[in-house]
Each structure stands twice: as structure tokens, then as C-alpha cells.
Structure 1
């Protein structure tokens, strides 16, 4: 039997395999546009290089393990390791495990908007 679940995007009722998180409609739909914006400046390239490092990937995995691969805000499956204090505010905390939390896409987007207002970034 092929077990299915609903897409994790709020309000979407599309059935998908249990190994996936989002349906095709809600998976990486803005990824190429976001990557172009993210790497078009020197600051963007610096961040891209950081997020590609072995140190970050290891710390990210440690954060997921610590949080049980669950979003610390809502308890759904975590997909993003988020810096509690953004790296644009405190670059020195980028590899501090106490500054990393596991979030789902929805909670990460809410937090990013809050950070933009709080830190004016």
C-alpha cells in the first residue's frame, strides 16, 4: 500500500508521498530567482560560501539532532536550521550551536519577517 499525506503548505490538500514535505506546486518555486538575488552582490556571495562550508553543514545537522528534526515553534518536520540572531546582525555567532534552531518553512518565513522588522535588515 502506498501511504500518502497532505502537503505541509497551510491550506493545501494535495496528497504526496510520506517522504516529501511539499507538493510540486509548493516546492522551491522561487529557488532560482532567490539564488540569483542572493549571489548578485559580494555580501551575497560571502553568505553563499558560508552556507556551503563543512562547518555549517555539520552544525546544522547537530541542531537538527538536538531538536529531534522537529520545528521548535510548531512541532512539524524541521527543514531549515535558522540563526536565532541573524548572521547579518551578529556574524560572530554564525557557528554557535546556541544560536541555531530547527524550523519548518512556515515558521522560518514568519521569523524572517519579524527579524526584518526588529533588526531593519
Structure 2
């Protein structure tokens, strides 16, 4: 083949047109560009502080890729350090990944950055009694470019059980999704609105996303009406009374004072 070069693709030698760019070429050019333009950035990854943190994260994750479960080969910033330099040594923002999972994650981030897609994203925290209509409220206001976190819907999707059935063993997995989502939302601007459905206020959420456009909404549906709805839907009221009483306690303590009260 004229004007061809011999390369290794998937461990096999192949002839390809001379102008073909394969991943090794892209990696080499990318690394050369970083060495010329981001010397401070590269110096960090050779620092003692980073090496110690990297080892601690690999140990914490048992050397397993947190996406696919294969052996991990590197430690990745969940929110890229280029987007949140101040958080570069926070173990909460780090995860162990294998080479392939890291490649695809970085590729998605690069595509998003090149598109320059950013929106004036608003994060809505929707609270209220069980049965107050939080999910219905979100569905009525949902847009095309929105993200929704609904604990009950995620639990049902993960377990195959009806919504509100609950599964203590799956709770940790739903919670992991929530925590990962909060970390990504720190640097996210892809969505127009984010809807987080919860019964109680979450101080961790407010603290982590303090720099974002947070909007707290409390549905005005009364305690008596919520109890009536739960009974009409043949829900076991005993499963919800603890949460209902907890909402009453938090309301008395002023924990919902920052919430805008709207009709459910």
C-alpha cells in the first residue's frame, strides 16, 4: 500500500494510510500539547501530595474500577481538576478507574467542553409530606433538558419492586447515585433545570452546591390531606407516619423556613 504506515491496532500489526490518526498518535500529541501549555497542571500530578492521595484512593476502592469492576489502573477526578482546581486533592472527588473507563469518561467530557454547551441551570429541591404530590409536581413542570432525582423511582428501577416498596439492601446503591450526582452538579451546566425530590432538607446538599442557583420548594399539601391520599391509594399508613411526624418536627424547628411554599 503506497503512502502507508505500519501500526499496532488491538495488538496486531496493520498497514493504514499515512494520514490515519490512531489513538497512540492522538495521545502523543495531547501529551506534547499539555507539556507545553500546562506545566503547573502536570507538576501537580508528579507531586508527593498527589501520589499519597492517589494511593489512598486506590486502597479505599480496593484497587477496583468503580464503573466496571475490573482492576483499576489510575485515579480519576470525578469533576475534572481543570473545572474545579480547589478540589483536586479531595478524596470525595476521586475514583479508581480502569484505562478503558477513564478513556470513555474523558472523551465524553471533552466532547461536552468542545460543544461549549452551558445553560443557566437551576437546581430545584422539592420537599413535602409523603403523599404531598412531589413527583406529580415535577412532572408538570419538567422540561426537555432537565434532570430528575427521585429516590422512590430509582429504588423501583433497581429492584423491580413497586414504588415505595423499599429494599434496605438497595438503599446504599440509590444513595451512591445521589452522592455522585451532587458531586457532578458542582461543575455541571448541561441541564436547564435539576429536580431533586426529597422529604427532608439536606444540609449536605446545600453546602456542596452553595455556589449554584438553588431553589427550595415546599408543597403546601396538608398533613390531613396527605394521610387521606395515602389511605385512598391503599398505602400502609404505618410505613409513613414516622416520616410525617419528622416533617412536623422539622417544620416546628424552622428547617423549612427557606422553602417557597407552593400548591401541590
Global fold match (TM > 0.5): yes
User: What is residue 35 of structure 2 aligned with on the other side?
Assistant: 39
User: What is residue 71 of structure 2 aligned with on the other side?
Assistant: 77
1:114 aligns with 2:108: yes
User: What is residue 19 of structure 1 aligned with on the other side?
Assistant: none
Residue by residue, what CA displacement relative to the aligned partner does 1:26-45 show, whole Å, maximum 9, x if unpaired? Answer: xxx5565443222111xx10
Gaps of 5+ in 1: 1-11, 15-28
User: What is residue 92 of structure 2 aligned with on the other side?
Assistant: 98
Could you say which structure has the higher strand fraction?
Answer: 2
Please state whether the residue corresponding to 1:81 is helix, strand or coil. Answer: strand
Structure 1's 32 and 113: CA in aligned 2 closer, same or farther, altered over 3 A?
closer
Please state whether the residue corresponding to 2:82 is helix, strand or coil. Answer: coil
Contact kept in structure 2, 1:89 and 1:119, CA below 8 Å = no
Please state whether the residue corresponding to 1:39 is helix, strand or coil. Answer: helix
User: What is residue 81 of structure 2 aligned with on the other side?
Assistant: 87
Residue by residue, what CA displacement relative to the aligned partner does 1:85-106 show, whole Å, maximum 9, x if unpaired? Answer: 0011000000101001000010
Gaps of 5+ in 2: 1-9, 13-23, 117-264
TM-score calculated relative to the size of structure 2: 0.33
Residue by residue, what CA displacement relative to the aligned partner does 1:33-74 show, whole Å, maximum 9, x if unpaired? Answer: 443222111xx1011110010000000001100100010001
Structure 1's 13 and 36: CA in aligned 2 closer, same or farther, altered over 3 A?
closer
CA–CA separation in structure 2 for the residues paired with 1:52 and 1:76: 25
1:76 Cα shift? 0.7
Structure 1's 70 and 117: CA in aligned 2 closer, same or farther, altered over 3 A?
same
TM-score calculated relative to the size of structure 1: 0.69
User: What is residue 65 of structure 1 aligned with on the other side?
Assistant: 59
Let me know the Cα RMSD of the aligned residues. 2.5
CA–CA separation in structure 2 for the residues paired with 1:118 and 1:101: 20
1:118 Cα shift? 3.8
Aligned length: 96
